[in-house]
Amino acid sequence: MGKLTNAEVLEKISDKFHDLVVLVGEPSGLLTLETNREQIINVLSWLKNEPVLQFVYLTDITAIHYPELEKPIGVIYHLHSLVNNVRLRLKVFLSDDDVHIPTATVLWNGANWMERETFDFFGVIFDGHPDLRRILNVDDLEAYPMRKEYPLEDPNRVDKKDYFFGR
Amino acid sequence: MSDIQIVDAPPGVEGAGFFATSIDKAIGLGRSFSLWPLPFATSCCGIEFMATMAPHYDLARFGAERLSFSPRQADLLMVMGTIAKKMGPVLRQVYLQMAEPRWVMAVGACASSGGIFDTYSVLQGIDEIIPVDVYVPGCPPRPEAIIDGFMHIQELVRTETLRRRNEPRYQQLLASYGIQ
């Protein structure tokens, strides 16, 4: 067990941000919060510099796509407080026609490649990122492959066509 | 007594003190037993190829002792493993740098068809970007299968006419891949 419990972390955060940061749940004991894109850098910055919490380590930035939601693209931040041995997950949901969010490279240089990857796969545009271009996929890929509307399979594949299986 | 076996002479006319055959048969014979393979190994098929090269299976028995790691000195490109779309241009560049005559062998399911990786990021068979002479099935193929594929390449080399690379049909094949 860590020195800080989820309840203590949550209390400190809600004292500071009130209803700007909302509790989503604690799946598998991982405190999960949601905020909005106007607040995200504020929240991250405060979490990093708060003298007790000290969430100094940015584990990952990624995204998720729920096409059925009103705001389908979620950007997800994983933070780790190395001193307190506690982790935290922050989510920000964005609407389909406006997938802009401020960059976290102002706080962690390590966010650079994570944001490039998130841009590469989900098309999330991180405003203020120093070099936002594709990192893993081929440069001329026309889609954001982890979005649900994009088919996973390669269309050039021929040996799985129905007529080979009598369909 | 030595039990070293040497390869049979190609078909030709033999008489007292002379032997005559056509030059492409003689050259084909020579080429087929002195192929320099370029291993382009990206994943598990490459591990099988290491076993194929090593003393137990000993690819050197077939005249391929000298693996060339420069495409400019290689006769045979052996592509072993998954080729991601981002790797595609690299593979194509390697092929373009090889001098004619050149042969290509796709070893394993991934190089032949994309294998289990039916996904947006993986090339669905290297024949989308370069012409392939022999496909070796398997996931990964055993070293015996790679050797069998290699012997098929040898058969192609042995029977190829000297003019094949200048034929319009061959030029057409290359042109269909956008080469030249």
B122 interfaces chain A, CB cutoff of 8 Å: yes
Instruction: Could you please state the CATH topology (level 3) that the domain comprising A6-165 is classified under.
Output: Beta Polymerase; domain 2 (3.30.460)
Residue B65: pLDDT band with limits 50, 70, 90: confident
The whole-number pLDDT of residue B7 equals 85
CB A104 within 8 A of CB A111: yes
A164 touches chain B (CB under 8 A): no
What pLDDT band is residue B75 in, cutting at 50, 70 and 90? Answer: very high
Query: What is the model's pLDDT at position A157?
Result: 81
pLDDT band at B70 (very low <50, low <70, confident <90, very high): very high
Average pLDDT along chain B: 92
Domains in chain B, number: 1
Q: Which residue from B85, B113, B128 is facing A159, i.e. has the nearest CB? A: B113
Using a CB–CB cutoff of 8 Å, tell me whether A148 touches chain B.
no
Chain A within 8 Å of B121 (Cβ-Cβ)? yes
Quickly list DSSP for A28-71. Answer: GG-EEEEE-TTTHHHHHHHHHH-TTT---EEEEEEEEE-TTSSS
pLDDT in tens, chain A (167 residues): 457 889 999 999 999 998 898 899 899 999 999 999 999 999 999 999 999 999 999 999 999 999 999 999 999 999 999 999 999 999 999 998 899 999 999 999 999 999 999 999 999 999 999 999 999 999 888 889 999 988 888 887 877 788 888 87
Tokens of B78: 């052996």
First to last CA, chain B: 53
Residue B159 belongs to domain spanning? 37-172
Instruction: Answer whether B11's CB lies under 8 Å from B25's CB.
Output: yes
- Look up the CATH number of the domain holding residue B142: 3.40.50.12280
* The pLDDT value given to residue A2: 56
Mutation for testing the B interface, residue in A149, A150, A152, A154 having most B CBs under 10 Å: A154
At A161 the pLDDT is 80
Q: Is A125 helix (H, G, I), strand (E, B) or coil?
A: strand
Q: Does residue B121 belong to any structural domain of this protein?
A: yes
**C-alpha atoms less than 13 angstroms from C-alpha of A163 in its C-beta half-sphere:** 1
Share of chain B above pLDDT 90, in %: 79
Inter-chain touch A138–B124, beta carbons under 8 Å: no
Do B130 and B95 contact (CB within 8 A), yes or no? yes
d(CA A69, CA A30): 23
Mutate to test the interface with B, among A159, A160, A161 (most CBs of B within 10 A): A159
C-alpha closest to that of B149 among B77, B100, B95, B93: B77
Average pLDDT over residues B87-114: 93
Q: What are the residue boundaries of the structural domains of chain A, listed by start?
A: 6-165
B104 to chain A, minimum CA–CA distance in Å?
Answer: 21
Q: Is A162 an 8 Å CB contact of chain B?
A: no
Q: Are strands B76-80 and B37-41 parallel, antiparallel or unpaired?
A: parallel
Asked if A153 lies within 8 A of B118 by C-beta distance, the reply is: yes
Residues of chain B with Cβ-Cβ distance to A152 below 8 Å are: 118-120
Among A28-42, B1-15, B118-132, B153-167, name the one with the lowest average pLDDT. Answer: B1-15
- Selected residue of B112, B124, B129, B135 to mutate for chain A interface (largest A Cβ count, 10 A): B124
Distance CA A78, CA A62 (A): 9
- Pairing, β B103-107 against β B37-41: unpaired
Q: What's the pLDDT tens digit per position in B5-25? A: 888 888 899 999 999 999 999
What is the rounded distance in angstroms from the CA atom of residue A105 to the CA atom of residue A40? 12
The residue of chain A with its CA nearest to that of B124 is A157
Phi then psi for B3, rounded to 5 degrees? -110, 25
Give the DSSP H/E element, type plus range, for residue A16.
Answer: helix A6-17
Q: Does B114 map to a domain?
A: yes
Residue B62 has pLDDT above 80, yes or no: yes
Residue B110 contacts residue B81 (beta carbons within 8 Å): yes
CA of A47: how far to CAs of A42, A53, A56, B37, in Å?
9, 7, 8, 57
* Three-state SS at B80: strand
User: Would you state the pLDDT for residue A4?
Assistant: 85
Does residue B1 sit within a domain?
no
